[in-house]
Structure 1
Amino acid sequence: MKRKWKITLGLLGALVVVGAGGAAWMIVQPPKPARIVDAGPTGQRVANNGILANYFPAQGSDPSPAILLLGGSEGGLGKDMHALALLLQAQGYHTLQLAYHNAPGKSAKLKNIPLEDFYKALDWLKRQPQVDPNRIGIVGYSKGAEAGLVVATRYPGIRAAVLGMPSSVVWDGMSGENYLLGSFSSSWSEKGEPLPHLAYKGRPGADGLMPVFVNGLKEVSANPAAVIPVEKFEGKLMLICGEAEKLWPSCPMTDQIVARAAKNAAPAPVVLRYKDAGHGVMGAPFTDAKTRRSWTQLGGTEAGNAAARADSWAKISAFLHAELGTKATAD
């Protein structure tokens, strides 16, 4: 998400100062291709039937649970989620890290991404010989958490979802035309039609995009169809957020998800909140100082983000074990 945030913030800043001609040129430019990380020795690349992913099968011959793993708006198959995929694999989960935009064969911009891409990935997972099709979960963060919650409310049989830095609503597509000209596209589509979505409002602040989302949320009562109906998810839900978030208001949106679940008599989500963490609150525990410093640009302190990742991973592991099975300890 960090790389995408820098690109987006730079685009927004440029759109404020350039003339109409320059702005029009910038709008049509696709983002730079996202990094595609190799699956490595314990994984394999999947590239068929519209699916582009890295697959990490678990050890053992008995049918085991599986996880659909969704990164954020960085696109492609990023390094951060690759590290989490390896941890999930080691815990005994067949893990499919899915590329859903800004990758070969996918939309360059994160707008009107077909939900059918996620459905096909889940169908593929369930067909694998060693996967127990009755024990499927979704793990995602940021835009992947937004997609994950939408999919969990629409695709039957998802037993558990772990969503970091989540969204309570479907947002506009992430593209220049949306930021500059208004609400032109949704982030997601189904059967060729964009999902109802909430528009960005205002301009970014000195620290980033936060005001755009905060102001957008103020309009939610005028567009209730953009709210993700968490009560339609029949599985168990864990939400993770950092109170020092700088990118978007993930803790307030977490509160909105919890409130909607309560209002509709749905099971209460498990919530992990971390005071000194930001948009790097969830993921594989940090193993190097450079990565820790990079995520701190999106809020929180280095120590706070590192502690949150370590603590949340242990609790994610226990939660998934309780809902899907396999080992309970965090490696």
Structure 2
Amino acid sequence: MRINRKLIISIGVIAIIIISYLVIDSILFNGIKPKPINENGFQVNFFAKENIENKTAVVLIGGGQWGDYWSQEIANKEMVGISLPYIGKEGLPNLPEEIDLEYFESALNWIRKQKSVDPKKIIVMGASRNAELALIIASIFPDMVSGVIAYTPSSVSWSNTVLPYNSNELKASWKYNGIDIPYLPMTKISGNDTEKIRMLDYWENGLSKIDSTHKSHIKVELIKGPILLFSGVDDKVWPSAKMADMIENRLTNNNFKYNFKSIKYQNAGHSISTNPKQLSDLRIGKININGKNYEYEFGGTAEGDLNAKKNAYLQVFEFLLNIKND
């Protein structure tokens, strides 16, 4: 039988390309590749060096590129990074409303059983609304979570209607055992005759309607571990520095016995949780309200955000080192 010489050459070329790619990839990539986990109803990207045991683990609430970036950084420092999405992927809810906290409970139970993880040193970390969720998770599951890192945090749990693409029906954002996590009910943000929206006004208006006894305040005093907060004084998305102060006041009033640190950065806005090695020129966000596109400011300056990110990065690993050595 005559073998097609062109076919053999083509197969050989393809094989060389594949081998070359694998060799180059192994040379250029000096990080830790994730192990995707999709079982027991939850999904994670699990980052850990081989053969490590009993290490501090950080769960990045929200997952995505942000979660993978931080998980990689954490794993490179002899810990375990776990990027945990909960919406927007196949098999997960499309919208952040009525999210069952049992999802995170299942993930935490699985994480605690991993040989590489010290079950007494599991930290949850989030930014913006995922910081809200991280604080709630730590308060609901205090015996499973050993501390919290929250960038541009919220002091309250908000209703689903704070996001214009969610359903119009007022619902809790989070639930546990079929019961709503108490929330601050909000009407949806309204458009206007301009092309810009002042996001900060929307959230501050909501906060102005409640006092310190309102049931929507996150019960941060129930958290059994240290808490680290970062906020930008010039945050124009929502009043993260103000809400960080509200969290601090609640902890103080309840004689919180664990370490607490709130760092507020001048000239910094909402986008301070991303890669500190990258200077971002993204100063404006876009949002669609009732079919019309609007722009909104993140706040801060490019230099202010970068300085905040660099300092916060150092603070994160100092925080984790203290937990590791505790």
User: What TM-score comes out, normalization by structure 2 length?
Assistant: 0.79
Counterpart contact for 2:232–2:272, Cα < 8 Å: yes
Counterpart contact for 2:32–2:76, Cα < 8 Å: no
Q: Which is worse superposed, 128-137 or 52-61?
A: 52-61
2:23: which partner in 1? none
1:149 to 120, 132, 135: 135
2:65 matched to 1:79? yes
2:240 matched to 1:240? no
Counterpart contact for 1:277–1:301, Cα < 8 Å: yes
Counterpart contact for 2:67–2:84, Cα < 8 Å: no
1:118 to 97, 100, 104: 104
2:207 matched to 1:217? yes
1:321: which partner in 2? 321
2:252 matched to 1:252? no
RMSD: 2.3
- What is the Cα deviation at residue 242 of structure 1? 0.5
Q: Which has the larger radius of gyration?
A: 2
2:39: which partner in 1? 48
Give the letter for the 1:314 counterpart.
L
- What is the Cα deviation at residue 282 of structure 1? 2.2
- Provide the aligned length of Structure 1 versus Structure 2: 277
2:231 matched to 1:231? no
Q: 1:125 to 1:256 in 2, by over 3 A?
A: same
User: What TM-score comes out, normalization by structure 1 length?
Assistant: 0.77
Give the letter for the 2:281 counterpart.
R
Which ranges of structure 1 fall in alignment gaps of 5 or more residues? 1-39, 72-76, 327-331
1:88: which partner in 2? 74
- What is the Cα deviation at residue 274 of structure 1? 0.5
Post-superposition Cα deviations, 1:144-196, rounded to whole Å, max 9, x if no partner, equal 11111011111114222111111100001155487866xx1111011122211
Counterpart contact for 2:32–2:75, Cα < 8 Å: no
1:140: which partner in 2? 126
SS at match of 2:120: strand
2:249 matched to 1:262? no
Percent same amino acid among aligned pairs? 26
2:58 matched to 1:67? yes
Post-superposition Cα deviations, 1:61-102, rounded to whole Å, max 9, x if no partner, equal 33211111113xxxxx42233211111111122111101112
- What is the Cα deviation at residue 250 of structure 1? 0.8
Q: Distance in 2 between matches of 1:178 and 1:211?
A: 20
Give the letter for the 2:155 counterpart.
S
Q: 1:128 to 1:62 in 2, by over 3 A?
A: closer
1:311: which partner in 2? 311
Structure of greater relative contact order (alpha carbons < 8 Å, 6+ residues apart): 1
Structure 1 residue ranges (4+ consecutive) displaced by more than 6 angstroms after TM superposition: none
Q: 1:242 to 1:270 in 2, by over 3 A?
A: same
Counterpart contact for 1:203–1:211, Cα < 8 Å: no
SS at match of 1:153: helix
2:293: which partner in 1? none
More helix, by proportion: 1
